[in-house]
Amino acid sequence: MLKNYFKIAIAVLRRRKFFTFISLFGISFTLTILMVLTAFIDKVVNDNYPDRKRDRSLYLGNIELRGKESMNSSSFSYYFLTHFAGSMKTPEMIAISSRSNSTNTYVNNRKITIDYKYTNADYWNVLDYDFIEGKAFTKQQSDNGDRVVVISEDKKKEYFGDDNSPAVGKYIEADNVKYRICGVVRSIPITAYNFYADIYLPITTMKTNPASDKGYMGGFVAVLLAKSTDDVPKMQQEYATLISKLPIPGKEWDHIYSHADPYIQSYVRTGNEEKSGMLYAIGAVVIFALFVMLLPTLNLVNVNITRIMERSSEIGVRKAFGASSKTLVYQFIVENMILTFLGSLIGVVFSIVVMYFINSAKLIANLDLTLNFTVLCYALLTCIVFGLLSGVYPAWRMSKLNIVTALKAQ
């Protein structure tokens, strides 16, 4: 029986090409949007290069001062991270880095934009960058204020051209200062904004001494690394205790808020002292996905009802020859599920093609989108569920057609 339903469904879909095209386009286009979007989110959130110790790390992104009438939020000062966060007992190490800034330099009359970041020496022990050449600058070099630099693979190619000789030992100019290259690392996409830069410089080479600012706010962020995953909750609690005991600077403020968060929470934190923003982020993604799925579902319902009205004479004849409402409903739902399955397959193919062109166009350098098979399974399951729902109401309408009315439509 199921084989006959399948043959009838294929014949119907081939006979009504316009309706079939509209339905397949709606399903495949929706699935493509979901897959490309989730691939982007997955790459941004779950890619652990160079942050491979994420399971025992906490992230310091901002500190917030609040008063009755005003609020001020910013990254941390270098003094805060070394004097206060640096005094914590639980962390094994703390990686400190500045926010990324840009400068221009000229090579053979070509203007090159360089994104640079200042880091401490422990930054290279907390983060696991892949070194293609050389190594990171040492603590001694950092303490001495040596003008050494780690550069990205992409910037090496842009700065030195097609010269395949090692870059280590050569010099690169940034902000009218020449730095000797000590290492070259595999590039990361700009979406990993906490770790992205073209070049990485020792904090001690900054033109102004960052330790001279005794305030809490500045242009630095940090990663706290625990000795083991078991120490992470303890480290988080120690930081919360530290913040609660900080002296409040100035009479206009009455509260200090700052959080040592796991990676994803730090990524979506809204600044709200009570909530990390995780629920907002998940809620926004779910609402968007449901909205995207709901529109083609409603479209399929309307298309299926139109198809029913065109097939009323066929339905009337079948009911006149003894076909039960249950049989007709089952047949129509099978047709709809076959249509949904075909649309889903086309959507997967479209997703792969779109990701290929996005990766080839290098719209975001070093960001290679790939299919997330877990998300793919959930997306296909969701398509099947919505496909089933979009067929139930039209099938019920079809089963209620009066035989005489249906035959008169012939």
In a domain, 238, yes or no: yes
Q: Looking at residue 216, what is its pLDDT?
A: 95
Q: Looking at residue 153, what is its pLDDT?
A: 95
* Pairwise CA distance, residues 329 & 343, whole Å: 21
| Whether residue 217 is found in the same domain as residue 316 | no
What rounded mean pLDDT belongs to the chain?
A: 83
Backbone angles phi, psi at 231, to 5 degrees: -85, -10
* Pairwise CA distance, residues 136 & 159, whole Å: 19
| Whether residue 238 is found in the same domain as residue 299 | no
Q: Looking at residue 3, what is its pLDDT?
A: 67
Q: Tell me: the pLDDT tens digits for 299-309?
A: 666 666 666 66
| Whether residue 235 is found in the same domain as residue 302 | no
**Plot region of 137 (φ>0 → left; ψ -120 to 50 → alpha; else → beta):** beta
Q: Looking at residue 404, what is its pLDDT?
A: 52
| Whether residue 29 is found in the same domain as residue 96 | no
* Pairwise CA distance, residues 186 & 210, whole Å: 28
- % of the chain exceeding 90 in pLDDT: 41
Q: Report the Cα 376 to chain-centroid distance in Å.
A: 16
Is the pLDDT higher at 49 or at 318? 49
For helices 2-15 and 17-46, angle between their N-to-C axes, nearest 10 degrees? 100
Domain boundary among 215, 234, 251: 251
Name the pLDDT band for 34 (thresholds 50, 70, 90): confident
In a domain, 201, yes or no: yes
Name the pLDDT band for 41 (thresholds 50, 70, 90): confident
| Whether residue 292 is found in the same domain as residue 393 | yes
Backbone angles phi, psi at 239, to 5 degrees: -70, -40
> For the CA atoms of 86, 91, 93, 96, what is the dihedral angle to 10 degrees?
-50
In a domain, 341, yes or no: yes
In a domain, 271, yes or no: no
| Whether residue 38 is found in the same domain as residue 82 | no
* Whether the predicted pLDDT of 26 surpasses 60: yes
Q: Tell me: the pLDDT tens digits for 319-336?
A: 666 666 677 777 777 777
* Pairwise CA distance, residues 57 & 78, whole Å: 19
Q: Looking at residue 341, what is its pLDDT?
A: 81
* Whether the predicted pLDDT of 403 surpasses 80: no
Q: Report the Cα 33 to chain-centroid distance in Å.
A: 14
Q: Looking at residue 227, what is its pLDDT?
A: 95
| Whether residue 77 is found in the same domain as residue 144 | yes
* Pairwise CA distance, residues 203 & 209, whole Å: 9
| Whether residue 231 is found in the same domain as residue 83 | yes
Question: What SS3 state is found at 247?
Answer: coil
Q: Looking at residue 317, what is its pLDDT?
A: 64
| Whether residue 95 is found in the same domain as residue 22 | no
In a domain, 370, yes or no: yes
Q: Looking at residue 190, what is its pLDDT?
A: 87
- Name the residue range of residue 233's domain: 71-251
Q: Are 155 and 198 in contact (CB under 8 A)?
A: yes
* Pairwise CA distance, residues 87 & 85, whole Å: 5
Q: How many domains does the chain have?
A: 2
Report angle CA 262, 266, 270 to the nearest 5 degrees. Answer: 140
Q: How many helices (H) and strands (E) does the chain have?
A: 13, 13
Least confident of 162-166, 175-179, 194-198, 312-316: 312-316
* Whether the predicted pLDDT of 380 surpasses 80: no
Q: Tell me: the pLDDT tens digits for 52-102?
A: 999 999 999 999 998 887 888 899 999 999 999 999 999 999 999 999 999
Name the pLDDT band for 36 (thresholds 50, 70, 90): confident
| Whether residue 244 is found in the same domain as residue 293 | no
* Whether the predicted pLDDT of 186 surpasses 80: yes
Name the pLDDT band for 385 (thresholds 50, 70, 90): confident
In a domain, 266, yes or no: no
Question: What SS3 state is found at 188?
Answer: coil
| Whether residue 395 is found in the same domain as residue 289 | yes
Amino acid of residue 17:
K
In a domain, 299, yes or no: yes
* Whether the predicted pLDDT of 272 surpasses 60: no
Q: Tell me: the pLDDT tens digits for 121-134?
A: 999 999 999 999 99
Q: In this structure, what token pair is assigned to residue 178?
A: 């020449």
| Whether residue 172 is found in the same domain as residue 78 | yes
Give this prediction's pTM. Answer: 0.78
Q: Are 341 and 6 in contact (CB under 8 A)?
A: no
In a domain, 63, yes or no: no
Q: Distance from first CA to last CA of the chain, Å, rounded?
A: 26
